[in-house]
Every structure is written in C-alpha cells, then in structure tokens.
Amino acid sequence: MVNIHLPDVDGFSLVECLKSNISNLIKKQFAQANACIYIASKYLQIMKTRRDVYQAIADPTRRAIINMIATQPHNVNTIAANFDVTRQAISLHIQILADCGLIDVKQHGRDRFCQARLDKLGEVSVWVDQYRQHWESKLDNLEKYVVQLKNERNGKHKK
C-alpha cells in the first residue's frame, strides 16, 4: 500500500474532505434509493389492495356467487360445490368480493358463511343509468322520426 500525503486545505486534509463528501454522497444516494423503494412498495400495496365493485362483477364466477347468495347466506363449501373449480379458487373469489364490499364473511363454528351486501351495486347502477338515459333519448328520437315518416307516407297515399 502506498501512502500519499495530500496537503491541507483550510485546516482539513483532502483525504478527510473526500471521505466526508463520499460518505455524504453515499448516504444521500442510499436515502434516495430507500425513498424510491418506499414509494414503490406503497404504490404496489395500494394497487394490490385497491379493489372496487367493477373488478368484482367483471368475473362470471363472482357474479354467479353474488346471485347465489343474494337471497340467503351460504357457507363456502356449499358455494364451492356449485362450481367446477377448486375450493381454493372459490375462496379467492370470495376474498375479492369481500375486499370490494359486496359480501360479508362470518365465522359460525367451523363454517364460514357469505352474505351479500348488494348496496354497493348501486355504484354500478348509477354509472349504467347515465348511458341508459343517453340511449333512451336516442331511441326516443328515432321513434319520433319513424312516426313522422309513417305520417308523411300515409299522407301521400291518401291524396
């Protein structure tokens, strides 16, 4: 190892100055990297846990589960028996429905019962209604136009 003596600048040796700057730079880079990791992990956690009613009803199996428990609660085994998939797959669907707030899962002894909470579907209904109103208006205008054409046609035939 070669020892090199560097001159002092304003009472600090150049080596101490370099060590300090490198140390600060590493700390700053480490802090920035940690901040990025923290933000990314929070974002992924939000993406993972953020579920809404639209995700729930997007899957035909989940819609069938909702239909099945809409009138009365059923236990998970009864629900699973009605589908051609594994019980684990049904449990995942039930977890997603619960995360979206469309069902409540309650433990009764050894069984878990699922009960529908259909009030959340109101959000979908409101969204669909805006398009229903749009298309009803278009169809009403089309009906008026057809009636007008019939009246014009009938008027020409009478002359």
pLDDT of residue 107: 93
Q: Write the DSSP string, the chain.
A: ----PPPEETTEEHHHHHHHHHHHHHHHHHHHHHHHHHHHHHHHHHHHH---HHHHHTSHHHHHHHHHHSSS-EEHHHHHHTSSS-HHHHHHHHHHHHHTTSEEEEEETTEEEEEE-GGGGHHHHHHHHHHHHHHHHHHHHHHHHHHHHHHHHHHHHH-
At residue 69, the pLDDT reads 96
Per-residue confidence (pLDDT) for residue 34, from 0 to 100: 65
pLDDT score, position 51: 76
* Averaged pLDDT, groups of 10, the chain, 159 residues long: 56 63 70 63 52 89 96 95 93 93 93 93 90 90 92 76
CATH code for 53-118? 1.10.10.10
Say what the pLDDT of residue 159 is.
Answer: 55
pLDDT the model gives residue 47: 43
